[in-house]
Amino acid sequence: MIGKQIGLGLVCAVGCFAVQRPNIVFLMADDQASYSMGCYGNDDVITPHLDRLAEEGMVFDRHYATTAICMASRATVMTGLFEFKTGCNFFHGDMLQSTWDQSYPVLLREAGYRTGFAGKFGFDIKDGADGERLPLPEHDFDQWGGGPGQTSYRTKANKSMAAYAEEFPHSTLAYGAFGRDFIRESVEAGKPFCLSVSFKAPHKPATPDPRFNAVYKGKIFKKPENFGREAGEHFAKQSKLDRQYDRFYSWNYADQYDEVMAVYHQQVYAIDVAVGMIRDALTAQGVEGNTVIIYTSDNGFFCGSHGYGSKVLPYEESTHIPLIIYDPRHPNSGKEIRCSSLSGNVDIAPTILDLAGLPIPENMDGKNLMALYEHPGETLHEALPLINVWGHPASHVLGVVTKDLKYINWLYADDGMQPVEELYHLGKDPGELVNRAGNPEDRGRLEAMRKQYDALVQQWKSEAVPYNSYQEYSTVFDRHVPWSTRSESYPVQFEKGEGGRLPKAGE
């Protein structure tokens, strides 16, 4: 009799908790720079739904992608781990099943959430370090609209989304429709839900939805103060040996800026419309008051700043990304509060877990962003890493960013290059126009950032996964080790590149 009473009590407790748990909507763009949104100060763009979300929620002004490339960033977002602990990036390798098993989608579903995913999943999973690659984890979600690789802007080319192709032939609005239907079906099922939508837009190849062709037709866009090659002359030579440098010209930022940016912003406009569709669905189903919305991007985009295109490198346009959180239950909502505390994509997974009332695994590097939602002036991180171990070996680099400073250590020293330190005072110079590393007045700041960097390297040495070449990089990035020793630590596949040669600039 006592056992039955305890059992009934547990059932009641679980049931009550399930009712109180919020729904969670996580929305992520692909290659979206923060300056593509009105709420981040761009008067040239039209993003009414995102701006409304910012007004009702909280805007994070110092939010970073700790690795500014799709695959590694998405792995970090799902797991709350830095790249050297996910072991996951292009030319390195896949995520292990054991790591994926501790991701927020898996943990939420195990805790009773109804989960859905649509869009670009972004990485693969394998069964052990020496195991075989597994199919995408469709079975780990209650509703699946995801796809492999880069997916397609053509809805009908995405197998899991083909049912939406007739009404929404372009994938961006199709993902909005997926979200709408998932919300309705979750409410009908009577379960708390977590919806994750990973838009392909505005990733290249630029393919905007033609229904929005008139939005920016003939528009002239203001160029940022750090636009063009002259604004990047002080950057290290190492940063100029990969395709980001070539794409200032090959992607026509140099000579067709307005046309290129019109297409880029048109793609973001479609995301904004899709966000509106999802929010309308929340209202229609009567759950808008108990649903937390998180909006961000996997990384930023140069769009011609400093004379670069694309992303990857640890500069602001590439790594500084948008983040908006709206929790309608919280008293700070609706006050148009902006948070200037440092945060990163590594914080997404622990935040979602905490919102769901679940414990945060001890090995996660991220922290709960809702602590900043409660107290926007508090410190969540003293510093965060900015990692690149992709592309030309010269551009493999490690940086550290704090609330006001950024330190980048370019350690590659072959081909006539010398190691270069860069120090930027982001509080005074957000455009990174002045390298202060050689300024005597900034000697104290430089030494402080070197210490932050060294501490990061030590963490890398002690915590990096023992596979996919990540342990070797703890030596490559150690600034106290001679180049002759560090150069031998570069993994062979990166030293030679594909086909037994170094990749050329522009590839």
Are 142 and 183 spatial neighbours (Cβ–Cβ below 8 Å)?
no
Q: Using CA atoms, how far apart are residues 121 and 136, in angstroms rounded to an integer?
A: 8
Cα dist. 371→284, 332, 375, 486 in Å?
A: 30, 12, 6, 40
Whose tokens are 């229904």? That residue is 211
Contact between residue 186 and residue 114 where contact means Cβ atoms under 8 Å apart: yes
- Rounded Cα distance between 336 and 207, Å, is 33
Q: Is 90 left (phi over 0), alpha (psi -120 to 50) or beta?
A: beta
Of the candidates 318, 160, 191, 344, which has an alpha carbon nearest to the alpha carbon of residue 247?
A: 318
What is the per-residue pLDDT for 503?
40
Is the separation of the CB atoms in 348 and 323 below 8 Å? no
Question: Which sign, positive or negative, has the C-alpha torsion 389, 390, 392, 395?
Answer: negative
Task: Read off the pLDDT of residues 448-497 as tens digits, 9 standing for 90 and up.
Answer: 999 999 999 999 999 999 999 999 999 999 999 999 999 888 875 444 33
Q: How is residue 21 written in tokens?
A: 């748990």
Query: What CA–CA distance (Å, rounded) separates 143 from 138?
Result: 8
Q: H/E element holding 63?
A: strand 63-64
Amino acid at 399: G
Closest CA to 302 of 242, 384, 362, 378: 242
CA-closest candidate to residue 192, choices 100, 105, 287 = 287
Q: Is 444 helix (H, G, I), strand (E, B) or coil?
A: helix
| Residue 305 β-bridge partners | 227
For residue 59, what is the enclosing H or E element?
A: strand 58-60
The pLDDT of residue 492: 53
Domain ranges across the chain:
21-382, 385-500
Which pLDDT tens digit goes with each residue over 402-413? Answer: 999 999 999 999
Q: From CA 344, how far away is CA 380, in angstroms rounded?
A: 10
Number of neighbouring beta carbons within 10 Å of residue 334: 12
Kindly give the residue spans of alpha helices, DSSP state H, lying in 143-194: 171-189
Q: Would you say 67 and 398 are in contact if contact means Cβ atoms under 8 Å apart?
A: no
Q: What is the pLDDT of residue 415?
A: 87
CATH superfamily of 21-382: Alkaline Phosphatase, subunit A (3.40.720.10)
326 is written with which tokens? 């709206």
The predicted structure's pLDDT at residue 315: 98
Question: d(Cα 132, Cα 147) in Å, to the nearest integer?
Answer: 19
Q: What is the mean pLDDT of each run of 10 residues along the chain (507 residues)?
A: 31 41 98 97 98 98 98 98 97 96 98 98 95 96 97 98 98 98 98 98 97 98 98 97 95 98 98 98 98 98 98 98 98 97 98 98 97 97 97 94 98 93 98 98 98 98 96 96 90 44 37
Q: What per-residue confidence (pLDDT) applies to 301?
A: 98
Closest CA to 470 of 417, 401, 398, 395: 398
